[in-house]
């Protein structure tokens, strides 16, 4: 069973090392709550309350599995069909590609295959109509990088549209629906999307580091448009009630919330993802193997918060964790799972590696770019296939049913899958589960000097992302994280006018204002960082 004393010591050590003021965690096995407690204080700057398992945290994209559960409840009620185009429920829905909207189904939304990149805005409308307005006015213009249903690319837009569909088929606002159909049946009494409600309970505040210690960020993000995708505020005990329902085939202590077959479909494979050990996507839940045991999981982060949940349905085990500064969850969750789960590694058969089809290599050659992958340039060099990933050359070798990129030390760095395109050159390649599309790329391209000067400055996404300094050093552009304690700095590679990539920054695309001056840049094609 679980060694509680060792676990508490480990958590405290890792919190101190990562400089995390507040953390809450809960563990369940079968009907028994093995561990549920908090560590630290809610406000390390001014002296806050001790954290408990009932302290509220933001949990970012863990919100997505709440939305998935809501949608499946509406499926049970006959209001939504997973494979019907969502324009049947939202006739006014339009996308940037006029033919795309009618191809979008709820299943493509809940499996991140609608064609979007990940993007969002931390501050927006508090109007209950905010979700509808955002889908109508903003998402209708958002660029699609592949056709709906074709390729996976994790994003928030898809889940926000799913939330909008829920509003349209019921005639009710998203927050009210979740409260009635998810929170209340599960006894999630402190869970909310409204900061004005959350602040009436003990609430762990977001913190930045300073030379003297911690500094609270005295501005709560809020944007109704993103409530379905990453705005949930909840507690470890509330989230434990949620995962318990998923462990118990849709029931809690006093009622059936979802039918058993509905829960099973949520956790069943919908999309196979790139991995060496087994990685899949259900309906909003990701699935990964640990020691041969399948786990349903979802990570989330927003401002300085992060959270994680792991559910082992076949073993009746679940772990939830949340914190108000970045924390290495795996260092705590891994030993918990290793103590509570059997080791079934010997029951997992590794996929056979297929021989390379060199006849296809010419169709692979070319340059591709992806929001969280950056630039990948593929070329055949005699008997070898190579990929330059953000300027670093890797040797591509067959690995299972895809390719793996190995560095000079023979260490595998990336997984690469070339998406078949008949007898035509590949249009897309998947790199570590990031969709990349083919581009025209000239390695000799260099931006004009006046633009290199114009890009310089400090950029941030309000108080929440950044600040980052863009500077010109020895004729090259660099990006540097100015947050206290960060040592991140790297040189950027120019790709096209106003577009750069970096090994960690991935993609930066500078945006011009109406006056023709640089006003911001898009990080990873989606998160706008404004000049400050």
The full set of domain ranges for the chain reads 4-62+189-340, 69-170, 358-439, 449-531
Partner residues linked to 418 by β-bridges: 429
Cα gap 329→1, rounded to integer Å: 20
Q: How much is the pLDDT for 81? A: 98
For the chain, what percent of residues have pLDDT higher than 90? 92
Tell me the longest C-alpha to C-alpha distance in the chain: 68
Model confidence pLDDT, tens digit, residues 325-334? 999 999 999 9
Asked whether 109 and 103 are in contact (CB, 8 A), the reply is no
Q: Can you tell me the mean pLDDT for 13-41? A: 97
* pLDDT of 77 strictly over 80: yes
What value does the CA radius of gyration of the chain take, rounded to a whole number of Å?
Answer: 23
Query: Is 358 in a helix, a strand, or coil?
Result: helix
Separation between Cα atoms, residue 505 and residue 483, nearest integer Å: 15
Is the pLDDT score of 121 beyond 90?
yes
Task: Kindly tell me if the per-residue pLDDT of 277 is higher than 90.
Answer: no
- Region 519-525 average pLDDT: 96
- Looking at the structure, give the CATH architecture of the domain made up of residues 449-531: Beta Barrel (2.40)
CA distance 385 to 356: 10
Query: How much is the mean pLDDT over the chain?
Result: 96
Q: Which residues are 310's β-sheet partners?
A: 297, 319
Q: What pLDDT was estimated at residue 276?
A: 67
Q: Topology of 69-170 in CATH? A: Methane Monooxygenase Hydroxylase; Chain G, domain 1 (1.20.58)
Q: Output the pLDDT for position 457.
A: 98
Other Cβ atoms closer than 10 A to 84: 12
Mean pLDDT of the region 168-172: 98
Q: What's the whole-number mean pLDDT along residues 59-74?
A: 98
Look at residue 173 and give its three-state secondary structure: coil
Percent of the chain past pLDDT 70, that is, above it, reads 100
Same fold, 4-62+189-340 and 449-531: no
> What's the pLDDT at 156?
97
pTM over 0.85: yes
Q: Bridge partners of 301? A: 306
Q: What is the CATH number of domain 358-439?
A: 2.40.128
pLDDT at residue 4 above 80? yes
Q: Is the pLDDT of residue 157 over 70?
A: yes
Report the pLDDT averaged over residues 469-497. 95
Q: How confident is the model at residue 278, as a pLDDT? A: 72
* Domain 4-62+189-340 listed as CATH 3.40.50.920: no
User: What is the mean predicted confidence (pLDDT) over 60-77?
Assistant: 98
pLDDT at 274: 81
Is residue 165 pLDDT above 80, yes or no? yes
Q: With 80 as the cut, is the pLDDT of residue 254 above it?
A: no
Indicate the pLDDT class of residue 437, thresholds 50, 70 and 90: very high
Residue 308: exposure state from Cβ atoms within 10 A (0-12, 13-18, ≥19): buried
């Amino acid at each position: 069973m679980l060694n509680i004393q060792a676990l508490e010591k480990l958590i405290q050590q890792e919190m101190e090392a990562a400089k995390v003021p507040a953390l809450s965690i809960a563990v369940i096995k079968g009907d028994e709550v093995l561990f549920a407690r908090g560590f630290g204080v809610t406000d390390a700057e001014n002296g806050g309350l001790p954290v408990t398992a009932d302290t509220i945290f933001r949990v970012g994209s863990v919100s997505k599995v709440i939305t998935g559960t809501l949608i499946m409840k509406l499926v049970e009620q006959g209001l939504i069909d997973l494979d019907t185009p969502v324009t049947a429920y939202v006739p006014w829905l339009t996308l940037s590609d006029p033919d795309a909207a009618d191809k979008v189904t709820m299943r493509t939304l809940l499996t991140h295959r609608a064609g979007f990149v990940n993007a969002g805005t931390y501050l927006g409308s508090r109007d209950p109509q905010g979700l509808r307005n955002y889908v109508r006015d903003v998402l209708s213009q958002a660029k699609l990088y592949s056709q709906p249903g074709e390729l996976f690319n994790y994003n928030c837009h898809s889940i926000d549209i799913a939330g909008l569909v829920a509003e349209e088929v019921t005639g009710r606002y998203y927050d009210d629906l979740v409260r009635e159909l998810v929170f209340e049946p599960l006894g999630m009494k402190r869970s909310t999307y409204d900061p004005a409600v959350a602040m009436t309970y003990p609430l762990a505040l977001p913190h930045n580091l300073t030379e003297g210690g911690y500094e609270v960020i005295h501005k709560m993000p809020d944007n109704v448009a993103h409530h379905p995708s990453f705005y949930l505020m909840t507690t470890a005990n509330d989230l434990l009630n949620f995962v318990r329902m998923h462990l118990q085939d849709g029931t809690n202590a006093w009622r059936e919330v979802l039918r058993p077959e509905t829960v099973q479909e949520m956790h069943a494979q919908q999309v196979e993802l790139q991995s060496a050990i087994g990685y899949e996507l259900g309906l909003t839940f990701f699935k990964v193997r640990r020691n041969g045991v399948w786990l349903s999981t979802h990570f989330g982060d927003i401002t300085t918060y992060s959270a994680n949940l792991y559910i082992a349905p076949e073993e009746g085990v679940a772990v939830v964790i949340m914190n108000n500064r970045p924390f290495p969850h795996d260092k705590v969750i891994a030993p918990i799972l290793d103590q509570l789960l059997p080791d079934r590694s010997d029951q997992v058969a590794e996929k056979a590696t297929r021989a390379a089809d060199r006849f296809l290599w010419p169709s692979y050659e070319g340059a591709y770019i992806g929001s969280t992958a950056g630039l990948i340039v593929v070329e055949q060099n005699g008997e070898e296939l190579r990929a330059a990933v953000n300027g670093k050359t890797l040797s591509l070798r067959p690995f299972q049913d895809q390719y793996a990129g190995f560095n000079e030390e023979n260490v595998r760095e990336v997984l690469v899958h070339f998406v078949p395109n008949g007898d035509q050159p590949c249009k897309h390649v998947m790199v570590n589960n990031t969709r990349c599309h083919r581009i025209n790329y000239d390695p000799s391209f260099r931006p004009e000097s006046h633009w290199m000067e114009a890009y310089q400055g400090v950029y941030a996404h309000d108080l929440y992302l950044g600040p980052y300094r863009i500077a010109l050093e020895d004729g090259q552009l660099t990006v540097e994280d100015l947050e206290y304690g960060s040592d991140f700095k790297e040189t950027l590679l120019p790709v096209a006018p106003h577009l750069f990539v970096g090994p960690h920054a991935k993609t930066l695309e500078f945006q011009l204002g109406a006056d023709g001056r640089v006003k911001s840049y898009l990080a990873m094609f989606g998160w706008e960082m404004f000049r400050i």
